[in-house]
Amino acid sequence: MKSLKPRLLTAAIGVPAVILIIVISELWSPFLRIMLGIVSGIMIGEYMYGNKLLKRFELSIPCMVFSCACSLLIGSVYVYLLLYVFLAVVFFVSIVRHKVIDFSQLCYSVVGTLLISFGMSAVAVACSNEFSLTFCFMLVFLLPWMADAGGFFIGASLGKNKLCPDISPKKTVEGAIGGVVFCIISALLLGLVFQLWVIPGVSVNFISLIILGALDAVLSTVGDLSFSLIKRNLNIKDYGNMFPGHGGMLDRCDSIIFTAPLVVLIGQFLPFLTMK
């Protein structure tokens, strides 16, 4: 539990910041996309820095600009133009600078940029719900964090069987199960609170919340392990040091990259909110 104190400190700073973002976004919805663009750009910067590519400005700048713009343009016809221009630019750069930038660096940059940008821009799509931006925002961010919290506390107290020791030695099977339980309970409590007190005129689909909670916890772990695997290959501990006890922005949001698209997917077939 020695890492609990910095985690609580980060939460004490992060929770008010998240609340502020929600409040401003409810008043002016484009603010959320702008913040997502900034956060995505920071995450790409950390990702590039992890492989010592941040100062390859001819490569890192197009990646960061694309990621920022993706959250702003997602859902519009311009996103295809953005993708085309991005790929054309980075491959042009790789041709001109082929003596400096090798193919593995190009692949690392492009694949990571597309993955992070796709996942973070999905947050904007998920939160475009006509009933409640706040509810969808909390689905996207609260559930992976509760899965992480459940995995941390259950794993620290009851964990005996390692889940994936070569990639993340601290993760346990018991912690993963605890994360699923915490995630499902959190989803149900969130739905209950909103239906009873926040938006009583709207019906909450608790079946879809249970499905989301179970799958969200699993994909949250997949996201965490995926970026941990990259860190292992790069021989780094964290992508950054923005958050004490958590590393950088990418370390904190890696699970959301995998879970935000899940919120969009489930919401398409089993809407979380409907009119009564």
Question: What pLDDT score does 3 carry?
Answer: 57
Are the beta carbons of 144 and 222 closer than 8 angstroms? no
Residue ending a domain, among 127, 156, 190, is 127
The answer on 66 and 38 residing in a single domain is: yes
- Judge whether 98 lies within some domain: yes
Confidence of residue 125 (pLDDT cuts 50, 70, 90): very high
Phi (first) and psi of residue 247, to 5 degrees: 90, -135
- Judge whether 3 lies within some domain: no
The answer on 196 and 233 residing in a single domain is: yes
Question: What pLDDT score does 8 carry?
Answer: 66
Q: How far is CA 89 from the centre of its chain?
A: 26
Q: Is the pLDDT of residue 2 over 50?
A: no
- Judge whether 105 lies within some domain: yes
Mean residue pLDDT across the chain: 93
- Judge whether 5 lies within some domain: no
The answer on 123 and 172 residing in a single domain is: no
Q: What is the pLDDT of residues 205-216, one digit of tens each?
A: 999 999 999 999
- Judge whether 25 lies within some domain: no
Question: What pLDDT score does 243 carry?
Answer: 77
The answer on 257 and 141 residing in a single domain is: yes
The answer on 272 and 212 residing in a single domain is: yes
Residue 64 CB-density burial (10 A; 0-12 exposed, 13-18 middle, 19+ buried): buried
Indicate the number of domains in the chain.
2
Tokens of residue 173, six digits: 């099977």
Residue ending a domain, among 82, 101, 127, is 127
The answer on 238 and 108 residing in a single domain is: no
Domain span at residue 55?
30-127
Q: What is the pLDDT of residues 233-256, one digit of tens each?
A: 999 999 998 876 678 999 989 999
- Judge whether 7 lies within some domain: no
The per-residue b/e assignment along 223-240, b for 16 or more CB within 10 angstroms, e otherwise, is: bbbbbbebbeeeeeebbb
Question: What pLDDT score does 10 carry?
Answer: 67
- Judge whether 12 lies within some domain: no
- Judge whether 19 lies within some domain: no
Q: Is the pLDDT of residue 7 over 90?
A: no
pTM for the structure as a whole: 0.93
The answer on 51 and 143 residing in a single domain is: no
The answer on 161 and 113 residing in a single domain is: no
Q: What is the pLDDT of residues 98-124, one digit of tens each?
A: 999 999 999 999 999 999 999 999 999
Q: Is the pLDDT of residue 1 over 50?
A: no
Q: Is the pLDDT of residue 198 over 70?
A: yes
The answer on 147 and 246 residing in a single domain is: yes
CA geometry: angle at 271 spanning 266 and 275, to 5°? 175
Question: What pLDDT score does 232 carry?
Answer: 94
Residue ending a domain, among 127, 149, 171, is 127
Secondary structure, 3-state, the chain:
CCCHHHHHHHHHHHHHHHHHHHHHHHHCCHHHHHHHHHHHHHHHHHHHHHCCCCCCHHHHHHHHHHHHHHHHHCCCCHHHHHHHHHHHHHHHHHHHCCCCCCHHHHHHHHHHHHHHHHHHHHHHHHCCCCCCHHHHHHHHHHHHHHHHHHHHHHHHHHCCCEEECCCEEEEEHHHHHHHHHHHHHHHHHHHHHHHHHHCCCEEECHHHHHHHHHHHHHHHHHHHHHHHHHHHHHCCCCCCCCECCCECHHHHHHHHHHHHHHHHHHHHHCCCEEEC
The answer on 147 and 69 residing in a single domain is: no
**What dihedral angle (degrees, nearest 10) is formed by the CA atoms of 46, 42, 82, 23?**
150
The answer on 265 and 163 residing in a single domain is: yes
- The average pLDDT across 74-81 equals 94
The answer on 165 and 90 residing in a single domain is: no
